[in-house]
Amino acid sequence: MLAIVGGSGLTQLASLEVTRREVVRTPYGEPSGALTFGMVCDQEVVFLARHGYGHTIPPHRVNYRANLWALKQVGVTDVVSVASVGGIRADFGPGALIVPDQIIDYTWGRECTFFEGGESPVRHVDFTHPYDQKLRQRLLDAAAKIGEAVYDGGVYAASQGPRLETAAEIDRFERDGADVVGMTGMPEAVLARELELPYAAINVVANYAAGRASSEAGISFDSIEVVLHEAMTRVRGLLNGLCSDGDH
């Protein structure tokens, strides 16, 4: 069963034929909201709004452990994250869709593991390739099938938020090799890995990152809303294509 975790701009799936909603309790507290179960192209899908259905939970307050644990508990086998990002690379302009392949983590103070030691032995996970390649390829194939242009690969910088970054911070991220910047990719990706849940992401460029736009006027939040509204329609089409790929 596929889970879709929606970020800013994707708090619901228009194509989801809702069958039920379920409040799931976890040892790690409350998830961001009830899990919404439904059908997309004859595939059962679970949807969860990462920031809550009223978009009330900031990135550093999301209970990532509860979210992933709840999805695993109800039988999810694959997780696709949808997240808006700022474009650092010149060709990653507003509206671009990226299926990233690497992460650099700049977050701090978040509950970032299920393996906290104590009476249990310390455990490590291999995070060389943070996104599941098979699930990434399914996203790329689905995009090709419907004729949607996506970028194959990119380095996601996970920043703390909720504020946007300074121009100097974006310069640093670029020097480190990052192509886009967002606030929710970690620890979500590593928690999925710890639970052995294949995880991949669709990054939606909402705006150029700080200092990268041609204008010195700063970032326009009105423009971001317009871009996300249009781009998320394309994301829903991509997700529909993924759900109809027959490999589930």
Determine whether the annotation assigns residue 106 to a binding site.
Answer: no
Name the band, by pLDDT with cuts 50, 70 and 90, for residue 247.
low
Determine whether the annotation assigns residue 184 to a binding site.
Answer: yes
From residue 86, give the alpha-carbon distance in Å to each of 1, 24, 190, 233. Answer: 30, 32, 21, 18
Ordered DSSP codes for 139-181: HHHHHHHHT---EE--EEEE---SSPPPHHHHHHHHHHT-SEE
**137 contacts 144 by C-beta, under 8 angstroms:** no
The answer as to CATH 3.30.565.10 being correct for domain 2-243 is no
Determine whether the annotation assigns residue 214 to a binding site.
Answer: no
Give the pLDDT confidence score for residue 154 in this predicted structure. 98
Determine whether the annotation assigns residue 77 to a binding site.
Answer: no
Give the pLDDT confidence score for residue 215 in this predicted structure. 55
Domain ranges (residues) in the chain: 2-243
Determine whether the annotation assigns residue 183 to a binding site.
Answer: yes
Determine whether the annotation assigns residue 207 to a binding site.
Answer: yes
Task: Specify the higher pLDDT residue, 119 or 27.
Answer: 27
Contacts of 112 (CB under 8 A, 6+ apart): 64, 186, 187, 190, 191
Q: Look over the chain and give the mean of its residue pLDDT values, rounded to a whole number.
A: 90
Give the pLDDT confidence score for residue 14 in this predicted structure. 62
Predicted model pTM: 0.92
Q: What is the pLDDT of residues 54-71, one digit of tens each?
A: 889 999 999 999 999 999
Determine whether the annotation assigns residue 19 to a binding site.
Answer: no
Name the band, by pLDDT with cuts 50, 70 and 90, for residue 217.
low
Q: What is the pLDDT of residues 196-205, one digit of tens each?
A: 999 999 999 9
